[in-house]
Amino acid sequence: MSTVNIDVTLRDGGYRNGFNFPLEYALRHARLSAEAGFDWVEISYRKGSFAPQENLGLTGRGDDEFIAAVAGEIGPEKVAVILHPKNITGSDLPDMYRAGARLVRIILPAKGYQPGLEYVRQAKELGYTVGVNFTRVSQLSARDIAQASIAAADAGADVNYLADSNGSLSPLDVTDLVGLVKSVTGGAVGLHAHNNLGLAMSNAIAATSSGATWMDSAVQGMGKGPGNLIAEQWLVHLERGEESADRLRLAPVLELADLLLASIPESTPSLPLPDLLLGRYDLSVEHRRSLVGTHREDIATARTLASVR
Protein backbone atom coordinates (compact mmCIF):
# COMPACT_ATOMS: atom_id res chain seq x y z
CA MET A 1 0.00 0.00 0.00
CA SER A 2 1.34 3.44 -0.91
CA THR A 3 2.15 5.99 1.77
CA VAL A 4 -0.08 8.98 2.46
CA ASN A 5 2.32 11.90 2.84
CA ILE A 6 1.68 15.10 4.78
CA ASP A 7 3.91 18.17 4.42
CA VAL A 8 3.97 19.74 7.90
CA THR A 9 6.50 22.52 7.20
CA LEU A 10 4.12 25.46 7.49
CA ARG A 11 2.74 24.19 10.78
CA ASP A 12 5.61 22.47 12.63
CA GLY A 13 8.16 24.78 11.07
CA GLY A 14 6.26 27.59 12.73
CA TYR A 15 7.91 26.70 16.04
CA ARG A 16 11.10 28.07 14.52
CA ASN A 17 9.78 31.44 13.32
CA GLY A 18 6.77 32.15 15.53
CA PHE A 19 4.49 30.82 12.76
CA ASN A 20 5.24 34.00 10.82
CA PHE A 21 5.20 32.73 7.26
CA PRO A 22 4.15 35.47 4.84
CA LEU A 23 0.96 34.67 2.94
CA GLU A 24 2.69 34.90 -0.45
CA TYR A 25 5.32 32.41 0.67
CA ALA A 26 2.72 30.04 2.17
CA LEU A 27 0.78 29.95 -1.09
CA ARG A 28 3.91 29.29 -3.18
CA HIS A 29 4.94 26.61 -0.71
CA ALA A 30 1.56 24.90 -0.94
CA ARG A 31 1.63 24.95 -4.77
CA LEU A 32 5.07 23.33 -4.98
CA SER A 33 4.22 20.84 -2.25
CA ALA A 34 1.14 19.71 -4.13
CA GLU A 35 3.13 19.51 -7.37
CA ALA A 36 5.72 17.35 -5.61
CA GLY A 37 3.00 14.82 -4.85
CA PHE A 38 2.19 15.40 -1.20
CA ASP A 39 -1.28 14.11 -0.47
CA TRP A 40 -1.91 16.83 2.12
CA VAL A 41 -0.36 20.15 3.07
CA GLU A 42 -0.87 20.85 6.76
CA ILE A 43 -1.04 24.62 6.67
CA SER A 44 -1.57 25.60 10.30
CA TYR A 45 -2.82 25.09 13.78
CA ARG A 46 -6.34 26.29 14.43
CA LYS A 47 -6.22 28.96 17.14
CA GLY A 48 -2.78 28.14 18.42
CA SER A 49 -0.53 25.35 19.60
CA PHE A 50 -0.65 23.83 23.06
CA ALA A 51 1.03 26.65 24.96
CA PRO A 52 -0.52 30.14 24.65
CA GLN A 53 1.63 32.50 22.60
CA GLU A 54 1.33 36.21 21.91
CA ASN A 55 1.50 37.67 18.41
CA LEU A 56 0.86 34.29 16.83
CA GLY A 57 1.67 34.27 13.14
CA LEU A 58 -0.39 33.20 10.16
CA THR A 59 0.21 29.45 10.37
CA GLY A 60 -0.42 29.38 14.11
CA ARG A 61 -3.91 30.87 13.83
CA GLY A 62 -5.45 29.06 10.89
CA ASP A 63 -7.95 31.80 10.10
CA ASP A 64 -10.75 31.01 7.66
CA GLU A 65 -9.37 33.53 5.16
CA PHE A 66 -6.01 31.76 5.12
CA ILE A 67 -7.60 28.34 4.70
CA ALA A 68 -9.69 29.67 1.80
CA ALA A 69 -6.65 31.25 0.14
CA VAL A 70 -4.69 27.98 0.21
CA ALA A 71 -7.71 25.95 -0.90
CA GLY A 72 -8.02 28.32 -3.85
CA GLU A 73 -4.43 27.51 -4.84
CA ILE A 74 -4.28 23.72 -4.44
CA GLY A 75 -7.89 22.60 -3.95
CA PRO A 76 -9.62 21.69 -0.68
CA GLU A 77 -8.78 18.00 -1.12
CA LYS A 78 -5.17 18.74 -0.14
CA VAL A 79 -5.71 21.20 2.74
CA ALA A 80 -5.09 19.98 6.29
CA VAL A 81 -5.34 21.79 9.64
CA ILE A 82 -4.38 20.51 13.10
CA LEU A 83 -5.86 21.56 16.43
CA HIS A 84 -6.05 21.09 20.16
CA PRO A 85 -9.66 20.55 21.30
CA LYS A 86 -9.16 22.93 24.23
CA ASN A 87 -8.57 25.80 21.80
CA ILE A 88 -11.74 25.56 19.72
CA THR A 89 -15.52 25.73 20.00
CA GLY A 90 -18.30 23.88 18.22
CA SER A 91 -18.33 26.36 15.33
CA ASP A 92 -14.69 25.96 14.33
CA LEU A 93 -14.94 22.66 12.47
CA PRO A 94 -17.90 23.77 10.31
CA ASP A 95 -16.20 27.11 9.61
CA MET A 96 -12.96 25.41 8.60
CA TYR A 97 -14.78 23.01 6.31
CA ARG A 98 -16.64 25.83 4.58
CA ALA A 99 -13.34 27.66 4.14
CA GLY A 100 -11.80 24.66 2.39
CA ALA A 101 -10.07 22.29 4.86
CA ARG A 102 -10.72 18.59 4.27
CA LEU A 103 -8.28 16.87 6.64
CA VAL A 104 -8.39 17.77 10.31
CA ARG A 105 -5.98 16.31 12.83
CA ILE A 106 -7.10 16.39 16.43
CA ILE A 107 -4.45 16.21 19.13
CA LEU A 108 -5.54 14.04 22.03
CA PRO A 109 -3.78 13.08 25.26
CA ALA A 110 -3.58 9.35 25.92
CA LYS A 111 -5.34 10.03 29.24
CA GLY A 112 -8.29 12.39 29.46
CA TYR A 113 -9.00 12.06 25.75
CA GLN A 114 -12.75 11.56 26.05
CA PRO A 115 -13.82 15.24 25.61
CA GLY A 116 -11.88 15.45 22.36
CA LEU A 117 -13.72 12.48 20.89
CA GLU A 118 -16.79 14.67 20.42
CA TYR A 119 -14.80 16.71 17.91
CA VAL A 120 -13.72 13.51 16.14
CA ARG A 121 -17.39 12.56 15.75
CA GLN A 122 -18.38 16.05 14.66
CA ALA A 123 -15.60 16.17 12.07
CA LYS A 124 -16.65 12.84 10.56
CA GLU A 125 -20.26 13.99 10.32
CA LEU A 126 -19.11 17.11 8.47
CA GLY A 127 -17.22 15.04 5.90
CA TYR A 128 -13.61 15.48 7.00
CA THR A 129 -10.89 12.90 6.78
CA VAL A 130 -9.95 12.73 10.47
CA GLY A 131 -6.60 11.99 12.06
CA VAL A 132 -5.95 11.73 15.77
CA ASN A 133 -2.45 12.58 17.02
CA PHE A 134 -1.12 11.18 20.27
CA THR A 135 1.82 13.35 21.31
CA ARG A 136 4.91 12.36 23.32
CA VAL A 137 4.20 8.69 22.77
CA SER A 138 7.66 7.84 24.09
CA GLN A 139 6.37 8.73 27.56
CA LEU A 140 3.13 6.73 27.33
CA SER A 141 2.44 3.17 28.38
CA ALA A 142 1.41 0.59 25.82
CA ARG A 143 -1.89 0.18 27.66
CA ASP A 144 -2.69 3.90 27.45
CA ILE A 145 -1.80 4.06 23.76
CA ALA A 146 -3.91 1.00 23.00
CA GLN A 147 -6.97 2.21 24.91
CA ALA A 148 -6.83 5.72 23.43
CA SER A 149 -6.33 4.36 19.90
CA ILE A 150 -9.33 2.06 20.21
CA ALA A 151 -11.49 4.91 21.49
CA ALA A 152 -10.41 7.21 18.65
CA ALA A 153 -11.05 4.54 16.02
CA ASP A 154 -14.46 3.81 17.51
CA ALA A 155 -15.28 7.53 17.33
CA GLY A 156 -14.52 7.49 13.60
CA ALA A 157 -10.85 8.49 13.25
CA ASP A 158 -9.43 7.44 9.89
CA VAL A 159 -5.84 7.28 11.16
CA ASN A 160 -4.14 7.17 14.55
CA TYR A 161 -0.86 9.07 14.55
CA LEU A 162 2.08 8.30 16.83
CA ALA A 163 3.90 11.59 17.45
CA ASP A 164 7.49 11.18 18.67
CA SER A 165 7.41 14.71 20.05
CA ASN A 166 10.59 14.27 22.11
CA GLY A 167 12.53 12.61 19.29
CA SER A 168 13.35 9.73 21.64
CA LEU A 169 12.06 6.64 19.84
CA SER A 170 14.26 4.04 18.18
CA PRO A 171 13.32 1.93 15.15
CA LEU A 172 12.59 -0.99 17.49
CA ASP A 173 10.29 1.23 19.55
CA VAL A 174 8.48 2.39 16.43
CA THR A 175 8.07 -1.16 15.17
CA ASP A 176 6.47 -2.20 18.46
CA LEU A 177 4.16 0.82 18.66
CA VAL A 178 2.93 0.60 15.08
CA GLY A 179 2.27 -3.10 15.54
CA LEU A 180 0.40 -2.41 18.76
CA VAL A 181 -1.94 0.19 17.28
CA LYS A 182 -2.60 -1.86 14.15
CA SER A 183 -3.38 -4.93 16.21
CA VAL A 184 -5.94 -3.23 18.45
CA THR A 185 -7.65 -1.02 15.85
CA GLY A 186 -7.15 -2.75 12.51
CA GLY A 187 -6.94 0.75 11.02
CA ALA A 188 -4.39 3.10 9.53
CA VAL A 189 -1.38 4.22 11.57
CA GLY A 190 0.86 7.23 10.98
CA LEU A 191 4.17 8.50 12.34
CA HIS A 192 5.24 12.05 13.15
CA ALA A 193 9.00 11.83 13.72
CA HIS A 194 11.37 14.32 15.31
CA ASN A 195 15.09 14.15 14.71
CA ASN A 196 16.67 14.78 18.11
CA LEU A 197 18.74 11.59 17.89
CA GLY A 198 19.16 11.61 14.11
CA LEU A 199 16.74 8.68 13.80
CA ALA A 200 13.80 10.26 11.99
CA MET A 201 14.58 8.56 8.67
CA SER A 202 15.32 5.20 10.26
CA ASN A 203 12.13 5.44 12.30
CA ALA A 204 10.08 6.33 9.22
CA ILE A 205 11.40 3.28 7.35
CA ALA A 206 10.73 1.08 10.39
CA ALA A 207 7.20 2.46 10.65
CA THR A 208 6.28 1.75 7.03
CA SER A 209 7.94 -1.67 7.18
CA SER A 210 5.69 -2.43 10.15
CA GLY A 211 2.51 -1.35 8.37
CA ALA A 212 2.23 2.40 8.92
CA THR A 213 0.68 4.04 5.87
CA TRP A 214 0.72 7.73 6.81
CA MET A 215 3.87 9.82 7.24
CA ASP A 216 4.69 13.43 8.16
CA SER A 217 7.75 15.22 6.86
CA ALA A 218 8.97 18.81 6.55
CA VAL A 219 11.01 20.54 3.89
CA GLN A 220 14.60 20.83 5.13
CA GLY A 221 13.23 19.11 8.23
CA MET A 222 12.04 22.51 9.47
CA GLY A 223 10.21 21.87 12.73
CA LYS A 224 10.36 22.15 16.48
CA GLY A 225 13.87 21.79 17.93
CA PRO A 226 16.14 19.92 15.50
CA GLY A 227 13.17 19.31 13.27
CA ASN A 228 11.22 16.55 11.57
CA LEU A 229 11.78 13.86 9.00
CA ILE A 230 13.36 15.64 6.01
CA ALA A 231 10.85 15.71 3.17
CA GLU A 232 13.40 15.76 0.36
CA GLN A 233 15.12 12.63 1.66
CA TRP A 234 11.85 10.86 2.35
CA LEU A 235 10.43 11.49 -1.10
CA VAL A 236 13.67 10.28 -2.70
CA HIS A 237 13.41 7.10 -0.63
CA LEU A 238 9.82 6.56 -1.72
CA GLU A 239 10.33 7.58 -5.33
CA ARG A 240 12.96 4.95 -5.97
CA GLY A 241 10.96 2.05 -4.61
CA GLU A 242 7.28 2.72 -3.95
CA GLU A 243 4.67 1.32 -6.31
CA SER A 244 3.07 4.76 -6.58
CA ALA A 245 6.35 6.54 -7.27
CA ASP A 246 4.90 7.89 -10.49
CA ARG A 247 2.84 10.40 -8.46
CA LEU A 248 5.95 11.83 -6.73
CA ARG A 249 7.99 14.61 -8.31
CA LEU A 250 11.48 15.31 -7.00
CA ALA A 251 12.14 18.55 -8.89
CA PRO A 252 9.33 20.53 -7.17
CA VAL A 253 10.36 19.45 -3.68
CA LEU A 254 13.98 20.39 -4.38
CA GLU A 255 12.82 23.75 -5.75
CA LEU A 256 10.75 24.13 -2.60
CA ALA A 257 13.78 23.45 -0.41
CA ASP A 258 15.67 26.22 -2.25
CA LEU A 259 12.70 28.58 -1.87
CA LEU A 260 12.37 27.87 1.85
CA LEU A 261 16.06 28.47 2.55
CA ALA A 262 16.03 31.69 0.50
CA SER A 263 12.81 33.02 2.06
CA ILE A 264 12.74 31.95 5.71
CA PRO A 265 15.95 32.55 7.69
CA GLU A 266 14.88 30.26 10.52
CA SER A 267 14.65 27.28 8.15
CA THR A 268 18.41 26.62 8.18
CA PRO A 269 18.90 23.07 9.48
CA SER A 270 20.52 22.75 12.89
CA LEU A 271 20.87 20.39 15.82
CA PRO A 272 20.93 22.49 19.00
CA LEU A 273 22.87 20.45 21.53
CA PRO A 274 20.26 20.88 24.27
CA ASP A 275 17.76 19.18 21.96
CA LEU A 276 20.11 16.22 21.63
CA LEU A 277 19.91 15.84 25.42
CA LEU A 278 16.12 16.18 25.35
CA GLY A 279 15.99 13.26 22.94
CA ARG A 280 18.50 11.17 24.90
CA TYR A 281 16.60 11.52 28.20
CA ASP A 282 13.08 11.59 26.70
CA LEU A 283 12.32 15.12 27.90
CA SER A 284 9.88 17.54 26.34
CA VAL A 285 10.76 20.88 24.81
CA GLU A 286 9.49 22.63 27.94
CA HIS A 287 12.52 21.22 29.81
CA ARG A 288 14.90 23.05 27.48
CA ARG A 289 14.86 26.16 29.66
CA SER A 290 16.45 24.14 32.46
CA LEU A 291 19.51 23.33 30.33
CA VAL A 292 21.48 26.55 30.70
CA GLY A 293 24.78 25.46 32.21
CA THR A 294 27.88 23.76 30.87
CA HIS A 295 27.42 20.52 28.96
CA ARG A 296 28.43 18.52 32.05
CA GLU A 297 25.94 20.44 34.17
CA ASP A 298 23.20 20.05 31.60
CA ILE A 299 23.71 16.30 31.40
CA ALA A 300 23.36 16.07 35.17
CA THR A 301 20.26 18.25 35.06
CA ALA A 302 18.73 16.15 32.28
CA ARG A 303 19.35 12.95 34.22
CA THR A 304 17.69 14.46 37.29
CA LEU A 305 14.68 15.66 35.30
CA ALA A 306 14.29 12.25 33.69
CA SER A 307 14.43 10.48 37.04
CA VAL A 308 11.54 12.51 38.46
CA ARG A 309 9.37 12.66 35.34
Residue 231 is predicted with a pLDDT of 96
Most confident listed range (202-211, 245-254, 278-287): 202-211
Q: How many other C-beta atoms lie within 10 A of the C-beta of residue 183?
A: 11
Q: Is the pLDDT of residue 91 over 70?
A: yes
Average pLDDT of span 82-109: 97
49-78 in b/e burial notation, b at 16+ Cβ within 10 A?
A: beeeeeebebbbbbebebbbbbbebbebeb
Residue 53 is predicted with a pLDDT of 74
Q: 20: which DSSP letter?
A: -
Rg (CA), the chain: 18
Amino acid at 150: I
Residue 134 is predicted with a pLDDT of 96
**Percentage of residues of the chain with pLDDT beyond 70:** 98
Give the closest residue to 48 by CA, choosing from 40, 37, 39, 59.
59
Q: Is the pLDDT of residue 180 over 90?
A: yes
Residue 69 is predicted with a pLDDT of 98
What superfamily would CATH give domain 4-267?
A: Aldolase class I (3.20.20.70)
Q: For 235-298, give the secondary structure using H, E and C.
A: HHHHHCCCCCHHHCCHHHHHHHHHHHHHHCHHHCCCCCHHHHHHHHCCCCHHHHHHCCCCHHHH
Average pLDDT of span 47-72: 92
* Mean pLDDT value across the chain: 94
pLDDT band per the 50, 70, 90 thresholds, residue 110: confident
pTM as predicted: 0.92
Average pLDDT of span 95-113: 95
**Which residue ranges make up each domain of the chain?**
4-267, 273-308
Residue 50 is predicted with a pLDDT of 82
| Tens digit of each residue's pLDDT (9 = 90 or more) over 241-276 | 765 567 889 899 999 999 999 999 999 888 778 888
